[in-house]
Amino acid sequence: MKTNRWTRHAALLLGALTVLLSGCTSYVTSQVTAFSDWSGSDATRTYAFTRPADQKSNLELTTYERIVGNELATHAFRQVDASAARYLVGLSYGIRSDMVTVAQPVYYSPWPSPYWGRPFDPWGPWGPWGPYPTAYVNQSYPIFTHLLGVRITERASGKEVYNVTARSSDDESSLVRAMPYLARSALADFPLGNGVVRTVKIPVDKNGGISNEAATTSASPAAAPAAASGAKVVQ
């Protein structure tokens, strides 16, 4: 429980920094975790989506299946009827909102007039005899955590062969706008090795969509898989 709590706090802090720096960044960053027992070949990558009975007519899920299907197609997967599919693909997804409070420094000047900053005050926050006392004001920011899970099983045996999750935290309040980044992050360099945890950064184009630039990934040296063509792995 303590580990989960500290992990959540770290994720929220990272999200807060993302909000603060959103004006100077052009990437969506996701943490990806994969568990794998994959041994399929390109010739056998036929699949069908599977979903619970109460989700058969869920339009939101249909939209996300289409997004994930586009990414699967880049890895030689071909969608077919469930009765002819070798693999079944199931999705899980969600969004959670939190408020993060960050202490911002405020400089206090002992002079009777307010602190105007340069060029009116030649010392800035530093007086002629040293720094002015520093106070802090708490500012709160909304943080949204998005999650996508992709689970692949063999239809005939029911054996799970691949399970990957992608998680991102930022100021984006819409899951549907975050989903293309989650899907690309989750399936980048498919298939990853078992137990791989890594960070994927996807460039954003000037119109707010996914850039055509290659995703940048980072993983621990012991767990990093060989990179697929077009992807840059940074240790």
Extents of the domains making up the chain:
25-233
- The bridge status of strand 134-154 relative to strand 232-233 is unpaired
Judge residue 102's burial from the number of C-beta atoms within 10 Å of its C-beta, 0-12 exposed, 13-18 middle, 19 or more buried. Answer: middle
Architecture of domain 25-233: 2-Layer Sandwich (3.30)
pTM tops 0.75: no
What is the model's pLDDT at position 20? 40
The better pLDDT of the pair 162, 218 is held by: 162
Distance between CA atoms of residues 77 and 17, nearest Å:
37
Q: Which two tokens stand for residue 176?
A: 């549907």
Confidence class for position 221, pLDDT limits 50, 70, 90: very low
Number of neighbours of residue 79 by Cβ within 10 angstroms: 16
79 half-sphere exposure, CB direction, 13 A CA radius: 14
State yes or no: pLDDT of 142 exceeds 80. Answer: yes
What is the model's pLDDT at position 137? 84
The residues that bridge with 201 in the sheet, in sequence order, are 29, 216
Confidence class for position 123, pLDDT limits 50, 70, 90: low
The better pLDDT of the pair 5, 139 is held by: 139
Q: What is the mean pLDDT of the chain?
A: 79
What is the model's pLDDT at position 140? 85
